[in-house]
Structure 1
Amino acid sequence: MARTREFDIDQAIDRAMDLFWRRGYAETSLQDLLKELSIGSGSFYAAFGSKDQLYIRSLDRYVSLQGSDLERVLDETPEIRPAVRKVLTSMIEADLADPTRGCLVVNTAAECGDQPSAADRVSTAIRQVESFLAGALERAQAKGEISPEKNPRELARFLTTFIQGIRVVGGARMGREFTEDALSTAMRALD
C-alpha cells in the first residue's frame, strides 16, 4: 500500500525556492534540498521527480509571486509615474538590503540560460513583466498621463530591460547613489 504524503507540497516548493534563490542552482545539492525540506529521497522523487523539476517549479512560483506583486502595484497606484517609481524603488531597496539575493529570474538567466526549460521560463517571466507594464502604460496614455507620441510597448520593453539591469547592478553592489541616478533617468523616459 502506498504511503500518504506527509508534507505540504506548496510549502516545500516555497522552501526550495528560497534555498535556490539564496544559493543558486548549482550550489544547491540534492542533500541540501532533502535537509531543507525535511524529507527523504523517496518522498522527494515521488513529489518532484528531480532537482531540475523542483527548480523549475520553484522558479514558476517565484514568477507567480513577483508577477502578482507587480500587477497589484500597477493596478492599485492611480498614476503611472508613482506606480513605476514604486516598483523600481522596491527592487532597488531589496537589492540594497540583500545584494547577494538579487532576482531569481536574473540569477536563472545567468546560471541556467543554456538549459531550454529554464530559458523558456526566464523568457516567459520577462514577457509577463513587459505585458503588465505595457497594459499600465496603455491605460495611462488613455488617461493623458503620458504623451500620445510615446509607444507603450516600447516603453514597457525599455522598463523591463531596466528592471533586469538594475537587479544585476544591485548584485554588483554599486550603491544607492548609482541606482537612484539610474532610476531618475529611467523615469524621464515617461516624460
Structure 2
Amino acid sequence: MARIREFDIDRALDRAMDLFWRKGYAETSLQDLLKELSIGSGSFYAAFGSKEQLYDRCLERYTSLQGGDLRETLDGTADIRTAVRKVLVPMIEADLTDPTRGCLVVSTSTQCGEQPSAAERVTTAVRQVESLLAGALEQAQVRGEISPDKNPRELARFLTTFIQGIRVVGQARTGREFAEDALSVAMRALD
C-alpha cells in the first residue's frame, strides 16, 4: 500500500523557496533541501522529481504570488501614479530592510541562466509584469492620466526594466537616497 504524503506541498514549496533565496540555487544541496523540508530522499523525489524541478516549481509559485499582488495593486487603485508608487515603494523598502533577499526572479536570471526551464520562467515572469503594467497604463491613458503621445507598452517595458534594476541595486546596498532619486526619475516617465 502506498504511503500518503504527510506534508503540505505549498508549505514545502515556500520553505524550499526561502532556502533557495537565502543560499542560491547552486549552493543549495539536496541534503539542505531534505533537512529544510524534513523529508527523506524518496519522498523528495516522489513529490518534486529533482532539485531543478523543485526550483522551477518554487519560481512558478513566487511569480504567481507576485503577479497576483501586482494585479491587485494595479486594479485596486484608480490613479496610475499612485498605483505605480504602491508597486515600487514596497520593493525599495524590502531591499533596504533586507538587501540580501532581493527578488527571486532577478536571482534566477543571474544564477540559473544555463537552465532552460529557469530561463523560460524568468522570461514569462518579466512578460507578465510588462503585460499587467501595460494594461494599467492603457487604462490610465483612456482616463486621461497620461499623455496620449505616450506608448503604454514602451512605458511598461521601461517600468519592468526599472523594477528588475532597482532590485539589483537594492542588493548592492546603494541606500535610500539612491533608490529615491531613481524612483523620482521613473515616476517622471509617466508625465
**TM-score in terms of structure 1 length:** 0.99
Deviations 1:132-171 (A, max 9, x none): 0000000000000000000000000000000000000000
Q: Aligned to 1:21, what secondary structure does the other structure show? A: helix
1:38 alignment counterpart: 38
1:170 alignment counterpart: 170
2:120 alignment counterpart: 120
Question: Structure 1 residue 2: deviation in Å?
Answer: 1.3
Q: After TM superposition, where is structure 1 displaced by more than 2 Å over at least 4 residues in a row?
A: none
Trace 1:69-148 onto structure 2 (pairs within 5 A).
69-148=69-148
Percent identity reads 81
Deviations 1:17-45 (A, max 9, x none): 11111111011111111111110000000
Question: Structure 1 residue 10: deviation in Å?
Answer: 1.3
Distance 1:82 1:114 in 2: 38
Distance 1:114 1:183 in 2: 32
Question: Structure 1 residue 16: deviation in Å?
Answer: 0.6
Distance 1:72 1:23 in 2: 30
2:11 alignment counterpart: 11
Structure 2: runs of 5 or more not aligned? none
Distance 2:65 2:18 in 1: 12
Distance 1:172 1:184 in 2: 19
CA RMSD of superposed structures (Å): 0.6
Question: Structure 1 residue 77: deviation in Å?
Answer: 1.2
Mean Cα deviation higher: 21-30 or 169-178: 21-30
How many residues matched? 191
Distance 1:92 1:32 in 2: 30
1:151 alignment counterpart: 151
**TM-score in terms of structure 2 length:** 0.99
